[in-house]
């Protein structure tokens, strides 16, 4: 049996994916997670705090999935190109729902520093992931930009076509 906190976060993931951040209310989360209102507020002071927690959990999950997916790859080039296959895998697993971080970014005011900083941190970690693999500032940023745009385009068109093209470009860029 999952704890109330786990049920809240899991329900949040489902509702944010289906309805978006702004269209999901605390009362709906409480109801669908089957927790008492007092339990919700015991863990989270606000919807904003819940969103921050959701993004932190999502960050850990996403990087864990990526790490597991790439675990058999040995060299930086194969890890980098295989990362594009990870996007195809996640699109299949999550039905082209796109990036949770960018989805929420599109719904929050830019002065919401609390949520914005968590999103920026996630993207900085992804950018650093490619930098650590490739040890080349310009090349890793190029790969990062291909990767990020692949996520957005695949969500928009519900297709992995541009992920595959980006993977070919990345393969050609890496010596």
Same domain, 104 and 28: no
Owner of token pair 């299949």: 92
d(CA 80, CA 174): 9
Same domain, 55 and 122: yes
CATH assignment of the domain containing 12: 1.10.10.60
Owner of token pair 């999502």: 58
Same domain, 22 and 55: no
What CA dihedral angle connects 159, 128, 54 and 44, to 10 degrees?
-160
In this model, does residue 123 exceed pLDDT 90? Answer: yes
**What angle do the packed helices 137-157 and 113-134 form, to 10 degrees?**
120
Same domain, 6 and 57: no
The whole-number pLDDT of residue 136 equals 97
In this model, does residue 175 exceed pLDDT 90? Answer: no
Number of domains in the chain: 2
Same domain, 39 and 65: no
Same domain, 31 and 117: no
Domain closes at, from 11, 28, 44:
44
Nearest 5°: phi and psi at 36?
-75, 150
CATH assignment of the domain containing 94: 1.10.357.10
The whole-number pLDDT of residue 67 equals 98
Containing domain of residue 104, as a range?
A: 46-173
Same domain, 109 and 60: yes
Same domain, 90 and 64: yes
Same domain, 35 and 69: no
Higher pLDDT, 152 or 1: 152
Average pLDDT over residues 28-38: 97
Query: What are the pLDDT digits (tens) for 4-16?
Result: 999 999 999 999 9
- Nearest alpha carbon to residue 21 among 101, 96, 98, 91: 101
Whole-prediction pTM value?
0.94
pLDDT confidence band for 114 (50 / 70 / 90): very high
d(CA 115, CA 112): 6
Same domain, 140 and 88: yes
Query: What are the pLDDT digits (tens) for 131-157?
Result: 999 999 999 999 999 999 999 999 999
Average pLDDT over residues 37-58: 96
How many CB atoms within 10 Å of residue 139? 18
């Amino acid at each position: 049996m999952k704890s109330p906190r786990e049920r809240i976060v899991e329900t949040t993931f489902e509702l944010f994916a289906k309805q978006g951040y702004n269209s999901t209310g605390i009362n709906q989360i409480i109801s669908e997670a089957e927790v008492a209102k007092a339990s919700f507020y015991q863990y989270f002071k606000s919807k904003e705090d819940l969103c921050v927690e959701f993004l932190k959990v999502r960050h850990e999950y996403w990087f864990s999935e990526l790490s597991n997916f790439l675990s058999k790859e040995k060299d930086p080039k194969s890890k980098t190109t295989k990362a594009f296959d990870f996007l195809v895998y996640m699109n299949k697993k999550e039905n082209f729902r796109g990036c949770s971080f960018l989805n929420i970014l599109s719904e929050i005011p830019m002065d919401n520093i609390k949520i914005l900083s968590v999103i920026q941190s996630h993207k900085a970690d992804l950018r650093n992931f490619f930098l650590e693999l490739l040890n080349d500032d310009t090349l890793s940023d190029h790969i990062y930009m291909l990767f990020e745009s692949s996520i957005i385009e695949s969500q928009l068109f519900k297709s992995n076509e541009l992920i595959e093209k980006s993977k070919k470009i990345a393969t050609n860029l890496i010596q």
